[in-house]
A and B are shown apart, each in its own frame.
Chain A
Amino acid sequence: MADKLLNEGVARQVQQAFEQLQEPVEVLFFGAKSNCEYCDDTRQLVEEVVSLTDKLSLHVYDLDDDAAIAQEYKIDKAPGMVIAGRAGEQVLDYGVRIAGIPAGHEFTSLIHDLLLVSGRDSGLETSTREFLDTLTQPVHLQVFVTPT
């Protein structure tokens, strides 16, 4: 059994943050068997995070073995994740994706994403909401980050 990626102090902090979780969240993880340096670590990291609370669940897929599901969720990278809502058996896909290992600063982003989706509210300013509500065509945003 591999050592934990989250030390006790961090796990406790995350657990504290998770007291604000509201609705259930499902993480859809997509790994790959080859050419994926960070798949195992990312999967372990997410497993550890999800295990901290009953409000979160994890479904593990393989980019190749589950190609149809990957396509359905438009996942083309491994490790890739969809942070979705869950209502009973239903997965609520809001379009929140992470590609690559959420380590360093991006670990905080992962926790924020889980809280965001759990709250089912964007928290955006009224003017931003008003603009987004006028959209009639797809907007695809890719935010490039580095872990340090």
Chain B
Amino acid sequence: MVLAHRMAMQSPWVEAEMVEAMEFPELAQRFGVSGVPQTTINYGAGTVVGAVPEDYLVDEIRQALEIRV
């Protein structure tokens, strides 16, 4: 669950916010949150649903960085 926070801890480029979806429904809706945890990368450039291993999230971040929103 704190994988995103671990990444923030590791890199000054990474900022990670854990968001309680029910308290911020507009934001959750904007990013189409249907299941939790859902990780949204760079405001929608990438999306990961579920708790995933480190290398999986790394791959998704790598891909998201190639996409501009």
Q: Give chain A's interface residues, CB within 8 Å of chain B.
A: 37-38, 74, 77, 83, 94-102, 105-106, 108-109, 112-113, 116-117, 120-125, 127-129, 131-133, 135-147
Contact = CB atoms under 8 A, between A and B. Distances in A.
The SS class assigned to the B binding surface is mixed
B9 A121 contact: yes
Given A116-B2, A141-B14, A99 B23 contact: yes
Given A95-B8, A96-B5, A145-B37, A135 B17 contact: no
Interface of B: 1-2, 4-24, 27-28, 31, 33, 36-43, 54-55, 58, 61-62, 64-65
The secondary-structure label for the interface of chain A is mixed
B5 to A, nearest CB: 5
Given A113-B2, A124-B7, A137 B13 contact: yes
Nearest to B60: A141
A143 B41 contact: no
Contacts of A106: 18, 20
A24 to B, nearest CB: 15
21 contacts: A74-B15, A95-B8, A96-B16, A97-B17, A97-B18, A99-B17, A108-B1, A109-B18, A122-B6, A123-B6, A124-B10, A132-B14, A139-B15, A140-B17, A140-B41, A141-B7, A142-B43, A143-B19, A144-B19, A144-B33, A144-B39
